[in-house]
Amino acid sequence: MLKRTKIAKLLQAEAPMDEVLVKGWVKTRRDSKDFSFVEVNDGSCLKNIQVIANNTLNNYNEVKKLSTGSSLAIKGALVESKGGSQKFEIVADEIEIYDIAPDDYPLQKKKHTDEYLRTIAHLRPRTNKYGAAFRVRSELSYAIHKFFHDRGFRYVHTPIITGSDCEGAGEMFRVTTLDMENLPKTKDGKVDYSQDFFGKEAHLTVSGQLNGEMYALALGDIYTFGPTFRAENSNTTRHAAEFWMIEPEMAFADIYDDMDLAEDMVKFCVKHVLENCRDDIELFDKFVEPGLIAKLENIVNNGFARITYAEAIDIMQKSGENFEYKPEFGIDMQTEHERFLAEKHFKRPVIVRDYPKEIKAFYMRLNDDGRTVAAMDVLVPGIGEMIGGSQREERYDVLVQKIHEMGMKEEDYSWYLDSRKYGSVPHAGFGLGFERMMMLVTGIGNIRDVIPFPRTPNSINF
RNA sequence: UCCGGCUUAGCUCAGCGGUAGAGCAAUCGGCUGUUAACCGAUCGGUCGCCUGUUCGAAUCAGGCAGCCGGAGCCA
């Protein structure tokens, strides 16, 4: 029984083969006098295989109806091609047609706009560009696991449903089984969550960090890689309501170890994709972001710039650049500032650290100057903030005071504080938006186009 | 959420006061070891929705909706 060979493997063949079985979808078909050229793609790689269907085939009349999008199986010989553009082609002995796509197949043999393809997100992976994007997405996520695994990091599954509001990192989606048409109320007229599934309010996670810290303080080095949810009404090319985040956490590590890890990880992943998705990346370099490969090679080969927040403010003040928001110590960095630093000033990724404590989260470690925290952001050209991390505050008293200063309830974080109570150690970690790294690696400019079925405000189709 | 832009054939767009166009796709035919082939023909539209201005609206004005871009928030 002849087994199916994937096209990616077939195209790497050294020599012709007498009998192969290929299954896939028709990209396009061209008729010649006594035969038909069928371009077949099976998703295993960007390239198609050209099939010669001679009119001697017993179902040649059916073969001539094979339209773009139709599915089929071809049994035949892999031979050297007489045409110019490909090394091998298949001369079919037998063609089994699974399904003929009707003439209203929405994907034509031409370029479509990303906006149109978003309306057919269920079919867009069949296009060259999206097929490439989602092969890269798979390979990039493998690279992340490989990077951490090779360094002895443990993969931890932090909860998707959470009862705590963590760092207050944005609006959360509520998870409930209460009847929305008939909500149980307490005596003072508020919703009675004690009758809800968990007996209290529950939400989708906005970060696995606090849970991740607990495991780092037990297993040493850990990372999470899973879905994250933000109910922010953000309408930008860089935000989605559901996205994937990578959050490593290292025990016995400081902010400098954290920056090293972030830089090494980005370089490793970019290099992995350059080496393992060459054809796909070349497509992006050609049609999506000219100069992409040079940009990625620059990231792999050159170090990231590293500056403090104070230095960043100083650079911007002296730059002569006309910023809408004037750079001054204490301000939150705006998109224009991030882009200036990464794109104009350094022209490569830049890591900014030691931010004013007022603009950062409660768990970030207070520096000795008393006014900055050991936080770091990795800013990359074209995207802005891709990574946000910090050394965590490991001193119990300082952390408790910070919780109070920020108006948070100490009792909500008692389990978290336990880690500072029992054998606390310096530790550090960061969060990386997976889709943002996808945008960096592919050059694709919209987050909606690097996630299979994007969820954004007012949009949850498919 | 704020600011701007767009919405005309299946897709991409032109037309910007006188009653609907192109390219591609599709369909049919021709030609050819072709490369998103080529040539010819055919099919295809309440010009996003509502209201108004006008003798007359795809075109001007107002409202609504959807989409896109920028900003904010962040990953």
Dist CA A188 CA A197 (whole Å): 21
Give, in Å, how far the C1' of B27 lies from the CA of A121: 27
The pLDDT score that the predictor gives to residue A52 is 94
Confirm if A426 and A124 have CB atoms less than 8 A apart.
no
State yes or no: pLDDT of A168 exceeds 80: no
Q: Average pLDDT in the A361-378 region? A: 95
Fold held by A126-170+206-449? BirA Bifunctional Protein; domain 2 (3.30.930)
Q: What percent of chain A stands above pLDDT 70?
A: 98
Kindly report, residue by residue over A67-106, the tens digit of the pLDDT. Answer: 999 999 999 999 998 877 788 999 999 999 999 998 889 9
- CB contact at 8 A, A182 and A153: no
In chain A, CATH 2.40.50.140 covers 7-99
Query: Which residues from the 329-388 window of protein chain A have CB within 7 angstroms of nucleic acid chain B?
Result: 332, 334-336, 338-339, 384-388
pLDDT digits (tens, 9 = 90+) for A102-160: 888 999 888 899 999 999 999 999 999 999 999 999 999 999 999 999 999 999 999 99
- Distance in Å from B35's C1' to A158's CA comes to 50
Residue A461 CB in 7 A reach of strand B: no
pLDDT of residue A111: 85
Within residues 60-79 of protein chain A, the ones with CB less than 7 A from nucleic strand B are 67-68
ipTM of the assembly? 0.90
Torsion of CA A170, A176, A181, A185, to 10 degrees: -90
Residue range A300-359, pLDDT digits in tens: 999 899 999 999 999 999 998 888 889 999 999 999 999 999 999 999 999 999 999 999
Residues of chain A with CATH 3.30.930.10: 126-170+206-449
What does the alpha-carbon distance between residue A293 and residue A368 come to, in Å, rounded to a whole number? 42
pLDDT (tens digit per residue) in A15-27: 999 999 999 999 9
What is the rounded CA–CA span in Å between residue A420 and residue A78?
65
pLDDT, tens digit, for every residue of A35-59? Answer: 999 999 999 999 999 999 999 998 9
Strand order in the sheet with A161-162: A161-162, A202-204, A174-175
The whole-number Å distance from A233's CA to B64's C1' is: 21
Q: Which nucleotides of B are covered by protein (CB under 7 A)?
A: 1-2, 10-13, 24-27, 30-37, 66-75
Which pLDDT score is estimated for A166?
Answer: 53
Backbone φ and ψ for A275, nearest 5 degrees, come out as -85, -25
pLDDT at A169: 59
AA letter at A212: G
Q: Name the more confident of A163 and A198.
A: A198
Superfamily the domain A7-99 falls into: Nucleic acid-binding proteins (2.40.50.140)
